[in-house]
Chains A and B, each alone.
Chain A
C-alpha cells in the first residue's frame, strides 16, 4: 500500500480553504470515466442523426433521420425511400406483426368456419372467448353490461324511461330470439328491434290492470291456481286470450323466438317486472312510437361498419359461452304448437 492519504500535502488543491482545513483537491476524474463521457457525447450525435431527432422542418417536411441499420419496413402510403427510417407508427406496426404471427393461424381458420364449428373446437373457442372479451367490452357492454350482466337504470329516471333493463341479461337461458349459436350470430349480425303495440287505445284501464295481474301470476309459483282464487286474474286471463296478446306471445304465453316476443311464464323479465312496470309496458308498448314506450333497439353493427364477419362470429361464441347458450334445442316453440303441449320448463 502506498503511504499517500487524502489529506496528504502532495495533492494539488484549488487553493480555497473553508473552516480552517477543508480544501478542494484538483484530482482528475478517472480516465475510464472521461472516456465514457466522451463516448456518450459522441453517441448523442449518432443517435440524433439516426433517429428523427432534429426538430427542423423544411418545405413542409421534417428531418426523418438517416435510418436504422436492419430496418426496412414499408408502410402503405409512404415513400419507399423512407423504408429504413424509424417512426413511431412503424414501431407499432412491428409490434402488431408479432401479435399477428401468433393470432394468424387462428384468425385464418375463423374466416371459413361457422360459429357452430368454432364452438365445437375446444382450442378455437378458448381463443375466441379471450378475444371476444375485448370486443364485447368495446361494443356490447354499454347496453348489456360488463360480462353481459345487463345494465339497470340506477336513478328514478333514466332518459325519461323507467323500464328496468336497458338490454337483456345475456348470462341466463332466456332468449327472446333463441339461444342457439346460430340465432345469437344472426342477432348480432342484423341487430334487433323489439315491437309491441301500445294498448292504451285498445284496452281499458281496467282490462290492462287485469291482464297485468294475470301476466305477473303466470311467472309465479302456483300462478295458474291464482286465476281461480282471484277474479282479477281470471278476468285478465280472459283478456289475454281474447285480445291480440296471443298473436305474438302465443296461446301458452311462452313467446315466439321468430318474432322476439317474450316468454311471459318464466322468471326473467325483459323490462320492469313489477305490476306497475308490466302495466306500463302493456299500456305504451315497446318501440311503439308512443313517447312513453319501452325502448328495445339493438343496432345493426354490420351496417354501421363496426364489426367484421369474424368479429361477429367471435362475439356469438363468446356470448353463447356466457352460460345460457342452447346446444341443440329447437329455435323456439313453434307457432303451431298447442297451448298445453309445450313442456312446462324451458330448460
Chain B
C-alpha cells in the first residue's frame, strides 16, 4: 500500500496551495498488483459460505421439471419458466417490482451494515477471491508471487503462468456457459456447444462473458470496485454514523508503534496504543487499502482485516476487536442508537414489503386468460344504414394455458339492445401468445343516451366457462 505522500512544500502560499491537499490522498491506481494474504478466521469462513451460494448460479439451471428446464428465462420465445409457473411478457411488470425489491434489500442492508453485498456476495468479489485462491495454489504466497512477477521469463515462470491462465480461462468459459444456460435449454446448449453449433447470439454471449470474467476477475480485480462499479458509490453514500462497518478503533490503537520486547506483559503502557503496526490488516486486504486510515471508498467491508487483527491481538495477549464492525458513533464515543432508531432503514423495508406484496399479488393473480380491448378511435362510431350506431373493437386475448382453446365473447352494460357481431362462432385462441380479432357492437341509436357508455367485455372458455377474462372499455355514440 502506498504511504500518504508528504507535502513537498507546506509553506506554499496563495490560492493554489489548496491543491496540495491532493497529495495526501493515497489512491490505489492499480499500477502494481495487490497480492493479498489469506488468513483463516470467522469472516474468512463466512466469506467462503456466502461465496458458495454462487454454486446455485453454476448448477441450478440443470434442474429439470416435468421434462423441461425448471428455471428457464426463455427470451427467444418470450416465456419465463419457474417450475410450474410460466410468465409471459405481459406480466413483466412484476420484474420492475422484483428489481425494486433487490434495490431496497441492498439499501436496507447497506444502511444497517454497509457494503455487505460488496464484501460477501458480489460476483466481482467472489470471482476475484476464486481467481486469487487459484493463483495462491499455483504461484505460492504473496511474497513468492511478487517475486515471480518481478522474475525474468524463464521456463519455470512460463509454465506456472500458463497453467494459471489456462485454469482461469477454464473457469471463465464455464462462467460464460453457466450464464447462457439460464436463457436457453441447458441440455440442448451443451449438445450444440460440443458440436460447435451455437447460434451467433450464443457465441457472442459466451465469448463476451468468458472474456469479461477473465479480464475483470483476473486482471482488473479491485480496480473494478474502485473505478468501474457504480454500486460502490451508491452504497458509500448510504452509510451514516449509525451504520456498522469494519472500523479501526483509533482511540484504542493510537499511538501505534512497533512491539517492543517485554511490552506485551505491560498492557497498561499508556505511551503506546494497541496497534503494533504489523500491517497484517493491509496485507490481507483484497483491495489493498489500509483500514486504519478510516472509512474509505476502497473498503468493501469484507472483514478479512478483522480476522487478521484478531489473530495478532490473540498472539500479543490483547483483547480482540481493535478492528471491528462498529459504527462511527461508537468509535467516536457518541451514544449508540439502537437499530430500531434508524428510520431510514424502515422506509427501505416498507418499500420492500410493498413491492413484495405486489409480486405476491401478481403471481397469485396470473390467471389463465387475459383480455385487452382497444376501441377503434378513427372513427369512434359509424352510423349504419338503418340509423344504428356501430363500434369496432380490436380484441387481444392472451392464452396462458398450455393448449389452444375456444372462447365466447359476451358483453354487459353498454347500450340496451346492442348486438355483438363477429363472435357468432367461438374464437380460436392459440396458447403462449396473444391472439387478436375484431368485434363489432351495434346498438339502436335511440337507446344511446350518452356520448360515452361503459361496456364490459368477457371472453369465456367455451368448455370451462369459469375460465374467464374481462375488460371494461367504452361504447361511443354521437354527441347529444
Of A5, A20, A173, which one neighbours B14 at CB under 8 angstroms? A20
- A3 to B31 CA separation, bound complex (whole angstroms): 11
B364 on the A face (CB < 8 A)? no
Given contacts A147-B378, A321-B438, contact A172 B383 (CB under 8 A): yes
Total count of chain B residues near the partner, CB < 8 A: 30
A21 on the B face (CB < 8 A)? yes
A345 on the B face (CB < 8 A)? yes
What residues on A are CB-neighbors of B438 within 8 Å? 321, 323
A7 on the B face (CB < 8 A)? yes
What residues on B are CB-neighbors of A324 within 8 Å? 382, 384
Given contacts A149-B379, A172-B390, contact A1 B16 (CB under 8 A): no
What residues on A are CB-neighbors of B31 within 8 Å? 1-2, 4
Given contacts A147-B378, A266-B386, contact A5 B5 (CB under 8 A): yes
Instruction: Give 1 or 0 for each of B406-434: 1 = CB within 8 Å of chain A CB.
Output: 00000000000000010000001000000
Tell me whether B382 and A169 are in contact (CB under 8 A): yes
Closest to A21 in B: B16
B2 on the A face (CB < 8 A)? yes
A79 on the B face (CB < 8 A)? no
Tell me whether A263 and B2 are in contact (CB under 8 A): no
A153 on the B face (CB < 8 A)? no
A174 on the B face (CB < 8 A)? yes
A109 on the B face (CB < 8 A)? no
Instruction: Give 1 or 0 for each of B390-401: 1 = CB within 8 Å of chain A CB.
Output: 101000000000
Closest to A263 in B: B385
- A171 to B379 CA separation, bound complex (whole angstroms): 9
Tell me whether A172 and B23 are in contact (CB under 8 A): no
Closest to B26 in A: A1
Closest to A19 in B: B16
- What is the CB-to-nearest-CB distance from A147 to chain B, in angstroms, rounded to a whole number? 5
- What is the CB-to-nearest-CB distance from A72 to chain B, in angstroms, rounded to a whole number? 21
Tell me whether B385 and A267 are in contact (CB under 8 A): yes
Q: Which residues of chain B from 341 to 384 have a CB within 8 Å of any chain A CB? A: 376, 378-379, 382-384
Tell me whether A1 and B384 are in contact (CB under 8 A): no
Tell me whether B32 and A2 are in contact (CB under 8 A): yes
Tell me whether B288 and A346 are in contact (CB under 8 A): no
- A183 to B2 CA separation, bound complex (whole angstroms): 90
- A321 to B439 CA separation, bound complex (whole angstroms): 10
Tell me whether B378 and A346 are in contact (CB under 8 A): no
- What is the CB-to-nearest-CB distance from B282 to chain A, in angstroms, rounded to a whole number? 10
What residues on B are CB-neighbors of A204 within 8 Å? none
Of A1, A21, A346, which one neighbours B1 at CB under 8 angstroms? A1
What residues on A are CB-neighbors of B384 within 8 Å? 172-174, 267-268, 324, 347
A146 on the B face (CB < 8 A)? yes
Of B12, B23, B387, which one neighbours A5 at CB under 8 angstroms? B23
What residues on B are CB-neighbors of A1 within 8 Å? 1-2, 28, 31-32, 288
Tell me whether A172 and B382 are in contact (CB under 8 A): yes
Instruction: Give 1 or 0 for each of B1-24: 1 = CB within 8 Å of chain A CB.
Output: 111010010001010100100010
- A169 to B382 CA separation, bound complex (whole angstroms): 9
- A186 to B180 CA separation, bound complex (whole angstroms): 56
What residues on B are CB-neighbors of A268 within 8 Å? 383-385
B80 on the A face (CB < 8 A)? no
Closest to B13 in A: A20
Closest to B421 in A: A323
| Most chain A Cβ neighbours within 10 Å, of B23, B32, B382 | B382
B440 on the A face (CB < 8 A)? yes
- What is the CB-to-nearest-CB distance from A154 to chain B, in angstroms, rounded to a whole number? 15
| Most chain B Cβ neighbours within 10 Å, of A268, A323, A345 | A323
Q: Which residues of chain B from 278 to 314 have a CB within 8 Å of any chain A CB? A: 288
- A5 to B22 CA separation, bound complex (whole angstroms): 11
- What is the CB-to-nearest-CB distance from A180 to chain B, in angstroms, rounded to a whole number? 15
Closest to A146 in B: B378
- What is the CB-to-nearest-CB distance from A267 to chain B, in angstroms, rounded to a whole number? 4
What residues on B are CB-neighbors of A267 within 8 Å? 383-387
What residues on B are CB-neighbors of A4 within 8 Å? 31
Closest to A346 in B: B385
What residues on A are CB-neighbors of B2 within 8 Å? 1-3, 5
Tell me whether A346 and B386 are in contact (CB under 8 A): yes
What residues on A are CB-neighbors of B378 within 8 Å? 146-147, 149
- A323 to B384 CA separation, bound complex (whole angstroms): 10
Tell me whether B390 and A323 are in contact (CB under 8 A): yes
- What is the CB-to-nearest-CB distance from B455 to chain A, in angstroms, rounded to a whole number? 17
Tell me whether B386 and A345 are in contact (CB under 8 A): yes
- A126 to B14 CA separation, bound complex (whole angstroms): 79
What residues on B are CB-neighbors of A346 within 8 Å? 385-386
Given contacts A2-B32, A7-B23, A323-B392, contact A171 B382 (CB under 8 A): yes
- A126 to B438 CA separation, bound complex (whole angstroms): 10
- What is the CB-to-nearest-CB distance from B193 to chain A, in angstroms, rounded to a whole number? 25
Given contacts A1-B288, A21-B16, contact A173 B32 (CB under 8 A): no
- What is the CB-to-nearest-CB distance from A70 to chain B, in angstroms, rounded to a whole number? 14
What residues on A are CB-neighbors of B32 within 8 Å? 1-2
- What is the CB-to-nearest-CB distance from A169 to chain B, in angstroms, rounded to a whole number? 7
Of A3, A20, A173, A345, which one neighbours B16 at CB under 8 angstroms? A20
Tell me whether A347 and B386 are in contact (CB under 8 A): yes
Closest to B25 in A: A5
What residues on A are CB-neighbors of B385 within 8 Å? 172-174, 263, 266-268, 346-347
- A19 to B12 CA separation, bound complex (whole angstroms): 12
Instruction: Give 1 or 0 for each of B123-136: 1 = CB within 8 Å of chain A CB.
Output: 00000000000000
- A346 to B385 CA separation, bound complex (whole angstroms): 7
What residues on B are CB-neighbors of A126 within 8 Å? 436
Closest to A149 in B: B379
Q: Which residues of chain A from 135 to 177 have a CB within 8 Å of any chain B CB? A: 146-147, 149, 169, 171-174
> Could you list which residues of chain B lie within 8 angstroms of chain A, going by C-beta atoms?
1-3, 5, 8, 12, 14, 16, 19, 23, 28, 31-32, 288, 376, 378-379, 382-387, 390, 392, 421, 428, 436, 438, 440
> Could you list which residues of chain A lie within 8 angstroms of chain B, going by C-beta atoms?
1-5, 7, 19-22, 122, 126, 146-147, 149, 169, 171-174, 263, 266-268, 321, 323-324, 345-347
Q: Which 6 pairs across A and B sit closest by C-beta, in order of nearness?
A: A266-B385, A1-B2, A174-B385, A267-B387, A171-B382, A149-B379
User: Given contacts A21-B12, A267-B384, could you give 12 more A-B pairs where the C-beta distance is less than 8 Å?
Assistant: A1-B31, A1-B288, A2-B31, A2-B32, A147-B378, A169-B382, A171-B392, A172-B390, A268-B385, A323-B440, A324-B384, A347-B385
Instruction: Enumerate 17 A-B pairs (CB-CB under 8 Å) in ascending A order.
Output: A1-B1, A1-B31, A2-B31, A4-B31, A5-B2, A7-B23, A21-B19, A122-B428, A126-B436, A146-B378, A171-B379, A171-B382, A172-B383, A263-B385, A266-B386, A323-B440, A324-B384
